[in-house]
């Protein structure tokens, strides 16, 4: 895994590459919003229906073992 950092609005955000795919640290972005309670920032993102739908789409595209039927049941509970 190859890591590098970028600076955005004076916040360091970790980027890493694995299997020729790029990833970004959501935790680092949350820390920029609230350094002491980044866990609440991430929780709020995960409560957002659009965020959950995006994660499902990402999994459908990138995870050959993704169980879309099980995920659909999860999404229904988020409404």
In the numeric block, the tokens 């980027």 are attached to 15
Domains in the chain, number: 2
Predicted pLDDT at 78: 65
Residues 40 and 53 in one domain: no
DSSP annotation string for 9-49: TTEEEEEEEETTEEEE-HHHHHHHH-SS-HHHHHHHHHHSH
pLDDT at 40: 92
Together in a domain, 38 and 1: yes
Do 43 and 58 belong together in one domain?
no
pLDDT at 77: 66
pTM: 0.63
Range(s) of the domain holding residue 10 = 1-47
* pLDDT of the chain, 79 residues: tens digit per residue: 788 899 988 889 999 888 888 888 889 999 998 989 999 998 888 888 888 888 889 899 988 999 988 888 877 766 5
Res 2: pLDDT: 81
Residue 22 gets the label, from left (phi > 0), alpha (psi -120 to 50) or beta, of beta
- Residue 46, classed as helix, strand or coil, is helix
Instruction: Examine the domain organization and report whether 24 and 59 are in the same domain.
Output: no
Residues 43 and 20 in one domain: yes
- Residues 40, 53 share a domain: no
Does 5 lie in the same domain as 38? yes
């Amino acid at each position: 895994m190859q890591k590098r950092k970028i600076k955005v609005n004076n916040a360091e955000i970790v980027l890493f590459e694995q299997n020729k795919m790029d990833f970004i640290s959501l935790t680092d972005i949350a820390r920029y919003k609230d350094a002491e309670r980044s866990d609440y920032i991430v929780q709020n993102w995960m409560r957002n229906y659009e965020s959950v739908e995006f994660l499902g789409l990402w999994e459908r595209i990138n995870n050959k073992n993704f169980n879309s039927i099980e995920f659909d049941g999860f999404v229904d509970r988020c409404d």
